């Protein structure tokens, strides 16, 4: 891999892009970049000494094309000015996935893929490896609550990577060991159909050299797909599973981790909920197969504090709880709501959901309606478009019509705080992958003033 003194990232505020920015800066490069709008991530990068600007201005690229690597996120439009300038003026331009491929090449790599669950599972795996003493360099798709970052650094030579199926990015990786958490229909703007998506995951499995851990029920796709790695399963009925799950009713949960080598009893889940215990099982499976000692796995699971915006408990006082979650797929929504009911049985849940992407809403509005019907009340926001242009006839109303709740409303983002202030909420949850994250701190502040 050629070395460059200047690294310029277009879309530097993205969670995967910002991890790369931090890694290149640690490696001694001069790092800078562009993003569309300021955010907590861009502010953190600036505080770390990485310049960020928010205007599409090609004059702000480093002036030496031969000594500058330009990395861009696939979410950036092809006609974006800085990107077209870099391509036409001799700069080497590569996607984020290509940069991650070059960084991990020649290193032992453990990767976590899946249409949902991959961020929590990869972050937990990295934490287990860290507390066990081996350590790892990890590129994460969220901000770890244990470390306050989406990048972990180590000189162990071992790398952990979140393997993203969007834009088929994960096919750039060739890990030693991997987890596949789910293969639900998603990113239908990228894949022709569900078979095309599953085929990409099987190809990812073929690129894994040693150990492949998959959610129970998915193994036949890989066993019939000429995968050379040894295949293990996790989840109910799998080679690795959780049992004897108990909750103390106050947010703490305990379980037994069943493995081919025996039972690891009285494991404490650092973050409560069925979803987290399932993710812990996947992370523990790959860690144990990698050779991590049992006590390191137990300690890592218990001391894991979660990931920002993943079942992120922002307030939990008697009678009032606020959780923020990144869920933006019907299966994720249903799983998170089920976990909340498991941890806090009998309580009323009000959800605020911001749909993400017109295409995803078009493809799954019925399923979104069904999942959101598991709530007690719903405040539904307009669609966050991200990289997309509006589609005729596609709006949040499609989801609203398929939600069977009596207590449901479509409101604007600017109305959220006033609406919450007027309600006596029991459990409040914000869901979505768009800019609903800008409301999280104001909502927390409001509820603390009201209830804490």
- CATH number of the domain within which 174 lies: 3.40.1190.10
Q: Does the residue 231 lie in any domain?
A: yes
Closest CA to 289 of 356, 227, 343, 208: 208
19 located within any domain:
yes
Confidence at residue 232, expressed as pLDDT on a 0 to 100 scale: 98
| pLDDT of res. 362 | 96
Is 378 a member of any domain? yes
Residue that finishes a domain, picked among 303, 335, 361: 303
187 and 217 within one domain: yes
Interatomic CA distance for residues 127 and 279, integer angstroms: 13
Tell me the C-alpha distance between 197 and 164, whole Å: 12
In a domain, 1, yes or no: no
Residue 173: inside a domain: yes
Half-sphere exposure of 22 (CA within 13 A, CB side): 24
Looking at the fold, whether 336 and 224 belong to one and the same domain comes out as no
Q: Are residues 154 and 276 in the same domain?
A: yes
* 252 and 354 co-located in one domain: no
Looking at the domain assignment, is residue 100 inside a domain?
Answer: no
179 and 70 share a domain? no
Please give the Cα distance from 105 to 324 (Å, whole number): 35
pLDDT of the residue at 252: 80
- Helical H segments across 344-388, by residue range: 358-372
> Is 86 found in the same domain as 194?
no
Round to whole Å and give the CA distance between 269 and 274: 10
Q: What's the half-sphere exposure (Cβ side, CA atoms, 13 Å) at 62?
A: 24
User: What is d(CA 438, CA 309) in angstroms, rounded to the nearest whole number?
Assistant: 11
**Claim to verify: residue 320 and residue 295 sit in the same structural domain:** no
* pLDDT score recorded for residue 1: 64
Domain that holds residue 249: 106-303
Total domain count for the chain? 3
Is there a single domain that holds both residue 329 and residue 235? no
Same domain, 399 and 327: yes
Per 3-state DSSP, what percentage of the chain is helix, strand, and coil (rounded to 5)? 40, 25, 35
Is residue 328, in this structure, part of any structural domain at all?
A: yes
Q: What is the pTM of this model?
A: 0.87
Tens of each residue's pLDDT in the chain, 452 residues: 678 999 999 999 999 999 999 999 999 999 999 999 998 899 999 999 999 999 999 999 999 999 999 999 988 888 999 999 999 999 999 999 999 999 999 899 999 999 999 999 999 999 999 999 999 999 999 999 999 999 999 999 999 999 999 889 999 999 999 999 999 877 767 898 999 999 999 999 999 999 999 999 999 999 987 899 999 999 999 999 999 999 876 668 899 999 999 999 999 999 888 889 999 999 999 999 999 999 999 999 999 999 998 889 999 999 999 999 999 999 999 999 999 998 898 999 999 999 999 999 999 999 999 999 999 999 999 999 987 899 999 999 999 999 999 999 999 999 999 999 999 999 999 999 999 999 999 999 999 999 97
Is 386 within the bounds of a domain? yes
């Amino acid at each position: 891999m050629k070395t460059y003194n200047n690294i310029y990232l277009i879309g530097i505020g993205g969670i995967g892009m910002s991890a790369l920015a931090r890694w290149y800066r640690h490696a001694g490069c001069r790092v800078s970049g562009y993003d569309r709008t300021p955010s907590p991530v861009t502010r953190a990068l600036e505080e770390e000494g990485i310049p960020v600007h928010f205007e599409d201005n090609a004059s702000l690229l480093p002036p030496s094309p031969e000594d500058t690597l330009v990395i861009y996120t696939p979410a950036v439009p092809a006609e974006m000015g800085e990107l077209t300038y870099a391509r036409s003026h001799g700069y080497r331009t590569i996607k984020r996935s290509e940069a991650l491929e070059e960084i991990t090449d020649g290193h032992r790599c453990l990767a976590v893929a899946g249409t949902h669950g991959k961020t929590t599972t990869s972050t937990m795996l990295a934490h287990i490896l860290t507390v066990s003493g081996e350590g790892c360099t990890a590129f994460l798709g969220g901000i770890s609550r244990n470390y306050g970052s989406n990048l972990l650094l180590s000189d162990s030579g071992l790398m952990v990577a979140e393997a993203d199926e969007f834009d088929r990015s994960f096919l750039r990786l060739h890990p030693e060991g991997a987890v596949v958490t789910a293969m639900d229909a998603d990113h239908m703007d990228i894949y022709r159909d569900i078979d095309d998506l599953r085929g990409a995951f099987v190809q990812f499995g073929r690129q894994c050299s040693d150990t492949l851990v998959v959610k129970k029920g998915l193994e036949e796709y890989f066993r019939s797909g000429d995968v050379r790695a040894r295949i293990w399963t996790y989840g109910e009925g799998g080679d690795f599973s959780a049992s004897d799950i108990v909750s103390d009713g106050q947010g703490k949960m305990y379980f037994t981790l069943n493995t081919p080598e025996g039972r690891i009893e009285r494991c404490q889940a650092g973050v409560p909920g069925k979803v987290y215990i399932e993710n812990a099982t996947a992370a523990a499976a790959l860690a144990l197969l990698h050779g991590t000692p049992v006590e390191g796995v137990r300690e890592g699971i218990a001391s894991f504090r979660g990931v920002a915006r993943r079942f992120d408990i922002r307030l939990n006082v008697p009678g009032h709880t606020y959780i923020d979650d990144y869920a933006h797929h019907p299966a994720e929504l249903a799983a998170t709501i089920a976990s909340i009911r498991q941890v806090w049985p009998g309580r009323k849940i009000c959800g605020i959901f911001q749909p993400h992407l017109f295409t995803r809403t078009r493809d799954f509005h019925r399923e979104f309606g069904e999942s959101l019907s598991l709530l007690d009340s719903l405040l539904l926001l307009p669609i966050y478009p991200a990289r997309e242009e509006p589609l005729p006839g596609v709006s949040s109303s499609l989801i609203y019509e398929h939600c069977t709740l009596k207590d449901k409303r479509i409101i604007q983002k600017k109305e959220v705080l006033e609406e919450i202030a007027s309600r006596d909420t029991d459990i409040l949850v914000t869901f979505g992958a768009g800019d609903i994250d800008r409301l999280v701190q104001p909502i927390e502040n409001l509820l603390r003033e009201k209830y804490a």
